[in-house]
Structure 1
Amino acid sequence: MAGVEPGGQFRPLEAGDPASVAAYRLAARLGSGGMGTVYLSYTPGGHPIALKTIRPELSEDPQFRRRFRQEVEAAQRVQGLYTAPVIDYDTEGDLPWLATAYVAGPSLASAVGEHGPLPVPSVLLLLAGMAEALSVIHGAGIVHRDLKPSNVLLAGDGPRVIDFGIARAADATALTGTGVSIGTPAFMSPEQAAGAEIKPASDLFALGQVAAFAARGQGAYGDGPSHAVLYRIVHEEPDLSGLPGQLGFIARCLAKNPADRPSPAEIISLCQEASPTPLRQSGSWLPAAITEQITQRVSASAALAAAPTVAPQPSAPTAPVTRPDTPPAPATPPTPTAPPVHVVPTAPAAHVPPGPAYPPPAAQPQFRPAFGPPTAPQPPFGPQPGWRPQPLPPPKKRSRWIGYTIAVVAGLVWIGGCASFIRGLDDSSDSSASSGSSGSSRTAGDPSGGSSASAADSVPDPEPVRYEGVNVPTGYYIQFQDSPPRPLDGDGRYYSDLFYYDGELRSGNDKIVLLNNAQEGSLKTCREETRYAERVSLTQLSKGSELCVHSSSGHIALVTYQGTAPESDPSDYVSLDLTIWRNAEEPTDS
């Protein structure tokens, strides 16, 4: 990493770097990039972790925060031997951050830049490990989107793929003017370069690019301006000159058509076939110079963990302090410390970890509730110098108040009874009049005089309103009451009438039904069909598929799926035709 100096020593924190993040004391700076800055810290047990803070301009975007939260939660499901697992995170605070296991090794980018291309046996082990990592990542429903040499770390027991899925959080933000670039042009797939839908096969193209870089010292599409490299990726064949013959299968990863690229399992098999000996990850899988770098970093990390620490200053409490009834024996007892409060539940690692002797962090601002007047500053925990117990107020006579309460309750009950009696008289009169009028009507219109109660109580059929070509981007929702329905930024609102996210149509009312081809798309069908689901995947739909969607407000919509955005469109959206019957059933919300 860029944060490690010659000899394996870590770069110290710079001016402006925080001394701590949440309960983690920062020990050194590991590097920075388009998403934020990465620091070295430690768990309470002394295990090193890499803590990434997000750039302020990204964290200020609500859409980024929503996607970042979703991607981090998904990344927690990834538990592979060749990935860096998520240890802790906070996606809601002023400074969002993510902590993963620290990998004591250089990135592939820095290793090749400093020592040149890797030998064939190392490349085969690298490819097999990366393919296994992608298999686990894709199995968790994540597409990496930014697989490149700097996101592959070389550890003593194999490679580690990092930052999987996090780039997706910034893909749809409105930050085009901030200079933030998500995705590296030289390692993008043709479909990603063209702004089309990104699927797992896109990561396999990037894998081929990374493999070519590891074996040749440069990518398969050359260098130069980004637009020139992207043009070659989309329109030209890769340059694999000088690639060892055992690695010729890498060309299959670089196929323009995603369907022609091998799967991660196939890549592992191809690596095994190309290796004269069985593939085994060990401490000697890398050249000696890189192995020495790893050893130096392990020693430097252990030295920082063993450095003496300075106890942090006490943090302000977040709740009123209850003082003891009796003063303590010591005149000035030590004040215990309290760890900062996490916005989200964290792993057991969320405590003040041991670390080097760095200045204590600045005092955190006093917590204030989101409503009501500002709270007065609270004293630190424990009795303070000069503190004296306050006399308790004399006990109040509660018997008088109990009697008053009983009298008030009795009065309210009596008033309520009178109101109910009067209301009953009014209802009886109205019912009699209605009954007489209804009887006359039945006699005139129905000689049998018969009519079911359910027919009288049913909601009449409203007139349908049709809207065609409603495009709903991913992360957006529509409300059936709007005329015309227009997509609104979801921002986590899963209680909307119809929501499109991550390849699924979702109903906030948990009432969405996919009709089969034999069913007529009508109000009658939507009322009678009860095979309710919360969501329907686009993989279950074809052009013309019909769905019944019920809203909690009593509206019913027949949704006709017309397809997704074309590959040439950089947006991700679904095109829908809507037939809406407003107030077609009793509402279910409060």
Structure 2
Amino acid sequence: MTSTPSANLFKPLEEGDPAVVGGYRLAAVLGTGGMGKVYLSYTPGGRPIALKVIRPEFSEDPEFRRRFQREVQAAQRVQGLYTAPVIDSDTDGSQPWLATAYVPGPSLAHAVAQHGALPLRSVLLLSVGVAEALHVIHGAGIVHRDLKPANVLLASDGPRVIDFGIARAADTTALTGTGVSVGTPSFMAPEQASAGTVSPATDIFALGQIAAFAAIGSPAYGEGSSHAVLYRIVHEDPDLSRVPTELLPLVTRCLTRDPDGRPSLTEIIELCHEISPVALRQGEDWLPQAVAGSITERLRLPEPAKTPPPMPGVAPTPTQFAPQHPPTQFAPQNPAPGAVNPYAPTGFSPAAAAPTQSAPGVPGPVPPPGHPMQPTPPPGHQTRPIGYHPAPPVVHAPYVPPRQPKSKRTGLIVAASVVGAIVVLGVIGSLLPDGSSNDDASNSPGGSGSSASSGSSGSSGSNNSDSGEGNKRPDPKPATYKGIDVSENYVVMLADNPPKPKQGDDLYGGRDLYYYSDQTFTDDHIASDNGKFVLLNNSQKGSLETCRTETRYTEKITLDQVSDGSQFCVLSDAGHIAVATYRGQAETGDSTYLTFDLTIWRNAEDPKED
């Protein structure tokens, strides 16, 4: 350990890094992960926090934002001794962020890389702490999904689990792509690697991986390319030859390929106590001395940037305001080891106090609710003293002459022209031979011999009797959406772009597609009360034409009728048609949700009249 404080652990802010996020003045960079960048900041009272700013690529994805907001709200309910609690966030800003308590300790990944495997007692205390953390996380209805050594921090009084549930927000977004699972390959469970299925048992498998990693200093399924590691996890047994004999019962049971065969968290804690030759108690000596020394390094934080008092005649900048609500912090994903922090805030300068932008073209930081939304004035600019509120100036809008109402005569002329045209067409039609129209209709697609909307109202099929084939409505272009999660009693409306699940109680009128559980018959249903369903056979491929021609209508489908890849048509009364591809059911604590891929043809038919 060097004598220089915080060697390479706290990196200076770079060009492009914001100076302030959500009212928090940033002090240094803690690390960069797949979903964003983590900064060191401080509460108004001087407590260090870790603030994670989400990457712009994710911020621009509406589905990510919806999931991120939901997962952050769930994470705020997690208040355990072995977690870094989320205490502040902004999920609606130009770049979402969240903050947690700063944990002064290396990640398990960093500690093992620098100092090697941990002794048995440390591994057992690590496993007990992570099990307790998962108990609280699962109790809040969250599955971690990405539990790995980089997300377990080693504090002086025990481990801390971070990033719980946040990985789910990035799953199946446009960035991850279809069929790509979110998670670290070396620590995925077999069901997660093969089918993307996750449950609390998925985290149990990861806990076994973490215990093995801490005990032997490397992943139980080896290293290499992602595909090679995932193949071994799904099809082969782990290499546990170097795992201490005492620890084998714990690791072996956690790494059972069948999720139902894995132990519960309570059983894991009891097993750890049985394995330990001495009573397990968390304390300052739970880590080897070399690892504990790196905790001391992380306590030598750079000083927070100094905020000068307001200058006379100059309005304060948003950075001079303290946040309105207690801040939260996010522990670094991969704190870097080592070197002197060249970042040392000096005296005040206008550039340091003024809010900066996170990237060209991205709006600057927004102060917390209730704070003035005024930028830093340029040097020399004189403003009124604080507290002075002049009357607003009177601004005269340019004169705009009132719009003249359309003449009723024009409407009458148009209506008369339409009626006249219909009369003329009727006369011409009566002069044609009787067989001509029938022959044309029978040879045209969707004619009287093959209605494109057989069994429906016929008002919007391709055989519109009052318009003729030449005026057939062109088919709309389809819009495709992947990985839409519909929780129980949530509704998807096909008109929404993108279709976002909503609370069913918040909607008025019919529901295009929703998921509910019938408590009377203990059946789960996919249903609609604003249209009809057609469950397609395995031999059928969902398309606009298929949905129009099929007549096997129903208003609900039970889950035992579908499996991964099953397709059904949704025909809404508003005239929208969709092909839904069922992608499975998953649970997070007490919450259950279904996942669909949707291809929607909006306004494919005329709306159904009441």
Q: Residue 338 and residue 19 in structure 1: after superposition, are their counterparts in 2 closer, same or farther (change >3 A)?
A: closer
Q: Residue 58 and residue 89 in structure 1: after superposition, are their counterparts in 2 closer, same or farther (change >3 A)?
A: same
Q: Does structure 2 conserve the Cα–Cα contact (< 8 Å) formed by 1:186 and 1:223? A: yes
Structure 1 residues 181-260: aligned runs within 5 Å? 182-248=182-248, 249-260=250-261
User: How many Å apart are 1:213 and its aligned residue?
Assistant: 0.7
Q: Once the two structures are superposed, what CA deviation does each residue of 1:95-145 show, in whole Å capped at 9, x if it has no partner?
A: 111100000000000000000000000000000000010111011000000
Q: Residue 388 and residue 29 in structure 1: after superposition, are their counterparts in 2 closer, same or farther (change >3 A)?
A: closer
Q: Do residues 348 (structure 1) and 326 (structure 2) align?
A: yes
Distance of 1:104 and 1:148 partners within structure 2: 18
For structure 1, the 5+ residue unaligned runs are: 315-331, 369-374, 394-462, 466-470, 507-511, 518-539, 577-582
Q: Residue 346 and residue 490 in structure 1: after superposition, are their counterparts in 2 closer, same or farther (change >3 A)?
A: farther
User: How many Å apart are 1:256 and its aligned residue?
Assistant: 0.6
Distance of 1:546 and 1:115 partners within structure 2: 54
Give the alignment partner of residue 360 of structure 1, picking from 344, 353, 364: 353
Q: Residue 489 and residue 571 in structure 1: after superposition, are their counterparts in 2 closer, same or farther (change >3 A)?
A: farther
Q: Residue 126 and residue 390 in structure 1: after superposition, are their counterparts in 2 closer, same or farther (change >3 A)?
A: closer
For structure 2, the 5+ residue unaligned runs are: 329-343, 358-362, 367-372, 395-454, 458-480, 532-552, 567-580, 585-593, 598-606
Distance of 2:527 and 2:325 partners within structure 1: 41
Tell me the C-alpha RMSD between the 2 structures. Answer: 4.6
Q: Does structure 2 conserve the Cα–Cα contact (< 8 Å) formed by 1:193 and 1:234? A: yes
Structure 1 residues 10-409: aligned runs within 5 Å? 10-176=10-176, 182-248=182-248, 249-298=250-299, 300-301=300-301, 304-305=303-304, 309-311=306-308, 333-338=313-318, 347-349=325-327, 356-357=345-346, 359-362=352-355, 383=384
Give the alignment partner of residue 475 of structure 1, picking from 485, 504, 523: 485
More RCO (CA 8 Å, sep 6+) = 2
Q: Residue 548 and residue 333 in structure 1: after superposition, are their counterparts in 2 closer, same or farther (change >3 A)?
A: closer
Distance of 1:259 and 1:110 partners within structure 2: 32
Q: Does structure 1 conserve the Cα–Cα contact (< 8 Å) formed by 2:129 and 2:158? A: yes
Three-state SS of the structure 1 residue aligned to 2:559 is strand
Q: Does structure 1 conserve the Cα–Cα contact (< 8 Å) formed by 2:492 and 2:501? A: no
Q: Once the two structures are superposed, what CA deviation does each residue of 1:535-583 show, in whole Å capped at 9, x if it has no partner?
A: xxxxx53xxx56886569xxx984231346449999444689xxxxxx9
Three-state SS of the structure 2 residue aligned to 1:58 is helix
User: How many Å apart are 1:480 and its aligned residue?
Assistant: 11
Three-state SS of the structure 1 residue aligned to 2:227 is helix
User: How many Å apart are 1:513 and its aligned residue?
Assistant: 7.5
Q: Do residues 560 (structure 1) and 557 (structure 2) align?
A: yes
Three-state SS of the structure 2 residue aligned to 1:65 is helix
Q: Does structure 1 conserve the Cα–Cα contact (< 8 Å) formed by 2:211 and 2:251? A: yes
Structure 1 residues 413-562: aligned runs within 5 Å? 474-475=484-485, 489-494=498-503, 495=506, 497-498=510-511, 506=515, 514=518, 516-517=520-521, 540-541=522-523, 558-562=555-559
User: How many Å apart are 1:263 and its aligned residue?
Assistant: 1.1
Distance of 2:10 and 2:153 partners within structure 1: 16
Distance of 1:287 and 1:223 partners within structure 2: 26
Three-state SS of the structure 2 residue aligned to 1:153 is strand
Aligned partner letter, 2:557 = T
Three-state SS of the structure 2 residue aligned to 1:31 is strand
Q: Does structure 1 conserve the Cα–Cα contact (< 8 Å) formed by 2:151 and 2:161? A: yes
Distance of 1:584 and 1:388 partners within structure 2: 56
The structure having more radius of gyration, on CA atoms, is 1
Q: Does structure 1 conserve the Cα–Cα contact (< 8 Å) formed by 2:24 and 2:41? A: yes
Q: Once the two structures are superposed, what CA deviation does each residue of 1:328-372 show, in whole Å capped at 9, x if it has no partner?
A: xxxx54534445999xx962349xxxx95582243676999xxxx
Q: Does structure 1 conserve the Cα–Cα contact (< 8 Å) formed by 2:565 and 2:583? A: no
Three-state SS of the structure 2 residue aligned to 1:490 is coil
Three-state SS of the structure 1 residue aligned to 2:195 is coil
Aligned partner letter, 2:315 = T
Aligned residues: 431
Aligned partner letter, 1:491 = K
Q: Does structure 2 conserve the Cα–Cα contact (< 8 Å) formed by 1:22 and 1:341? A: no
Q: Once the two structures are superposed, what CA deviation does each residue of 1:509-551 show, in whole Å capped at 9, x if it has no partner?
A: xxx772735xxxxxxxxxxxxxxxxxxxxxx53xxx5688656
Three-state SS of the structure 2 residue aligned to 1:173 is coil
Distance of 1:391 and 1:77 partners within structure 2: 44
Three-state SS of the structure 1 residue aligned to 2:114 is helix
Three-state SS of the structure 2 residue aligned to 1:207 is helix
Deviates more, 1:104-113 or 1:332-341: 332-341
Q: Once the two structures are superposed, what CA deviation does each residue of 1:441-476 show, in whole Å capped at 9, x if it has no partner?
A: xxxxxxxxxxxxxxxxxxxxxx999xxxxx995435
Q: Residue 474 and residue 336 in structure 1: after superposition, are their counterparts in 2 closer, same or farther (change >3 A)?
A: closer
Q: Does structure 2 conserve the Cα–Cα contact (< 8 Å) formed by 1:104 and 1:297? A: yes
Distance of 1:164 and 1:243 partners within structure 2: 27
Q: Does structure 2 conserve the Cα–Cα contact (< 8 Å) formed by 1:64 and 1:170? A: yes
Distance of 1:206 and 1:251 partners within structure 2: 12
Distance of 2:355 and 2:122 partners within structure 1: 46
Three-state SS of the structure 1 residue aligned to 2:51 is strand
Q: Does structure 2 conserve the Cα–Cα contact (< 8 Å) formed by 1:476 and 1:490? A: no
Three-state SS of the structure 1 residue aligned to 2:353 is coil
Distance of 2:209 and 2:65 partners within structure 1: 30
Deviates more, 1:13-22 or 1:75-84: 13-22
Aligned partner letter, 1:153 = L
User: How many Å apart are 1:45 and its aligned residue?
Assistant: 1.0
Q: Once the two structures are superposed, what CA deviation does each residue of 1:64-90 show, in whole Å capped at 9, x if it has no partner?
A: 111001000000000000000001101
Three-state SS of the structure 2 residue aligned to 1:240 is coil
